[in-house]
């Protein structure tokens, strides 16, 4: 009826609708709302993304919640304290307080550029099976490439390969940066690791 009456829908109204759909147990209708927003030229904002994160956390679908959190970065919409509070609160309510603690610590160390310590936390998160393929990993690896911390970078990449939590975009970023910095030998070794990793995945 709102559409028929041509009342302009903004991100706030869509966000409220998304919240209502999750509360009513109708999350399967959310993709349609997001599609309608896109087709109508209405760009999701932080309120919209937080509504999605909150809804998925209530459903205990933390993988989807983290995917939305990563998408915010890709779309140029920075995650705010509410975004993290919702995810951390959801994890704790689901008995995953240790994962919540690791997430806070990892992000804090990255912000403080303490990459060696962050790498140790990331390795622990991978061991627990908590880390998925995400923009967070991509950003972390990219930062280490930029500062030329090859030793830590190599350690992290090996951990990511073993945990099968590295995607081709991250590989492409690393190899591209190494080639630009005349680190062709390291880039060649990474390509060999990529091929070996792909062959291992294909045989599983």
The whole-angstrom separation of Cα 60 and Cα 58 is 5
Q: Domain ends where: 95, 130, 150? A: 95
User: Which range among 42-56, 64-78, 82-96 has the greatest average pLDDT?
Assistant: 42-56
As a whole number of angstroms, the distance between CA 85 and CA 54 comes to: 10
- Lowest-pLDDT range of 16-30, 64-78, 169-183: 169-183
Please identify, among 38, 60, 95, the residue that sits at the C-terminal boundary of a domain: 95
Token representation of residue 91: 């994890």
| 52 confidence band (pLDDT: 50, 70, 90) | very high
Within this chain, do residues 34 and 89 fall inside the same structural domain, yes or no? yes
Identify the residue with better confidence: 132 or 92. 92
Same domain for 29 and 116, yes or no, is no
Interval 175-201 mean pLDDT? 61
Instruction: Count structural domains, the chain.
Output: 2
- Identify the helix (H) or strand (E) that includes residue 14: helix 11-23
- Examine the domain organization and report whether 177 and 91 are in the same domain: no
Hey, what's the torsion of the CAs at 107, 108, 111, 113, to 10 degrees?
-100
The band of 4, judged by pLDDT with boundaries at 50, 70 and 90, is very low
User: Does one domain contain both 27 and 128?
Assistant: no
Examine the domain organization and report whether 12 and 53 are in the same domain: yes
Claim to verify: residue 102 and residue 90 sit in the same structural domain: no
Q: How many alpha carbons lie under 13 Å from residue 191 in its C-beta half-sphere?
A: 10
Does residue 56 sit in helix, strand or coil? helix
- 115: its two tokens: 């990459």
Mean predicted lDDT score pLDDT of the chain: 76
What pLDDT shows up at residue 197? Answer: 55
For residues 87 and 149, state if they share a domain: no
Do 72 and 158 lie in one domain? The reply is no
105 in the same domain as 86: no
Query: 139 lies in which domain range?
Result: 98-204
Burial call 91-128: b when 16+ CB within 10 Å, e when fewer:
beeeebeebbebbebbbebbeeeebeebbbbbbbbbee
> Do 157 and 141 meet the contact criterion of CB atoms below 8 Å apart?
yes
Beta strands in 116-155 (DSSP E): none
Cα–Cα distance for residue pair 154/140, rounded to 1 Å: 13
Q: Are 55 and 141 in a shared domain?
A: no
């Amino acid at each position: 009826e709102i559409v028929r009456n041509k009342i302009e829908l903004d991100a706030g109204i869509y966000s409220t609708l998304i919240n209502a759909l999750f509360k009513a147990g109708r999350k399967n209708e959310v993709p349609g709302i997001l599609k309608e927003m896109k087709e109508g030229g209405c760009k999701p904002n932080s309120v919209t993304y937080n509504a999605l994160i909150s809804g998925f956390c209530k459903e205990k679908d933390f993988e989807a919640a983290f995917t939305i959190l990563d998408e915010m970065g890709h779309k140029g919409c920075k995650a705010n304290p509410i975004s993290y509070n919702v995810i951390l609160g959801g994890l704790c309510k689901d008995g995953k307080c240790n994962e919540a603690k690791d997430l806070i610590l990892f992000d804090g160390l990255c912000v403080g550029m303490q990459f060696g310590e962050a790498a140790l936390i990331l390795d622990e998160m991978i061991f627990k099976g908590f880390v998925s393929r995400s923009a967070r990993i991509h950003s972390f690896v990219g930062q280490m490439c930029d500062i030329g911390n090859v030793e830590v970078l190599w350690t992290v990449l090996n951990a990511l390969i073993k945990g099968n939590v590295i995607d081709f975009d991250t590989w492409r970023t690393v190899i591209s940066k190494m080639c630009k910095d005349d680190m062709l030998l390291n880039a060649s070794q990474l390509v060999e690791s990529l091929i070996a990793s792909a062959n291992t995945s294909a045989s599983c």
